Chains A and B, each alone.
Chain A
């Protein structure tokens, strides 16, 4: 039994006005160890966000249960920090006040994090004055300032350009290498999934479930140049093959 365990969890959404129910998540198991960094990789619509939202307590369970540190998860709480796929900073709060929002956030921690995510000089800016990348860095700092047991990241860099995205990956990895947080990171980008992870969990096409997990034995600290090494390419080839099968299935299912 791990630090976080997802046991036989599935989820259906009721159909709208007579249409059939949407099966968003097939029965899924996942175990995450303390201080682990797991990326969840899968095609669009396979239920990645749904799984993460269930763990966060934002979505009710269909079946199964989620245990964090031995205790069942029922509602959202400060022990699970989340960075959302969309921008969710509070527009009326400055960067600093956003980071201090959490019930367990301390001022000292907030100030330290502002430096870590490279937002010195922007403490008193409102979110609308920030670029997308800066907003997601603030959101990351906001989640970290609350000192959660586990960090849930839902494609946090999905909307960013490639260069910014690569910088953000290194930044997050640096924070993780220094602080050893437990992280669950959702992405649909294969490079990102391998580069960040200790283990990659590959999801099948909709309705998704975790169909394989793959340990990534690349050394830390990691540097972006690692993305061009032969080991990296080997992992990439292996996961690409798995994902390809799923993507083809997803498209066939939509056609059917």
Chain B
């Protein structure tokens, strides 16, 4: 549905996006993950036909970007970083105008559908300037959907929302995923990316990594075991580190983070050894690195490179 090849954007002096190549398959949710200034918004703007790439190419819904801008823009939906509503106009007016600009046939029906779906129907006649941040975001989401685009670009859809509203928006994105829409969503919330996305592309001007969130873990981290002790002493760390199947032991408070080859096989021996040297084991669990750790590690590797 979306293919980019060497997509590059330079603003005057700054290189905002460098040679980005990736693909988003039909019906897939791809997370674009990266710190502030990584080029996420710039990438989305290029793909949504708002700005032209300096180099490289991309096709979205079969349209090459930079060719027939209007046709491309009509086929995709964009949730911009800021809701950008017309504050003096009502929710209904905002949505109706966009429905018309997008050549929607049954304007009234579409507007009602999305206002109801996003629970804004009761407030449809209120000026959007009076809306809470979450309501504004929901209306902006409705605006991106009113012409039923197959491809959706969502630029930080939950940023700045309270947890409850963020969950609502996330659930809604999952519904959209279930409808088979192709979604490119940017975020710097790793947890969110993990929950929403089929695959995650980590970018920092360049593409750092792209994969299934679980595969990213596996690629970057060995499996590990977390052992909580009643009290940590240096000799426990030493003893664990001396075991041949252990590659690394990190200490975090009263917890030992032990990287080892195969927890299913090695855990028993690890615990036995710790008990032998006099440690009181409180509990043992498997340690799954969070996407956050993956991300930080990737960024660290980037810095070193």
A and B, one complex?
no
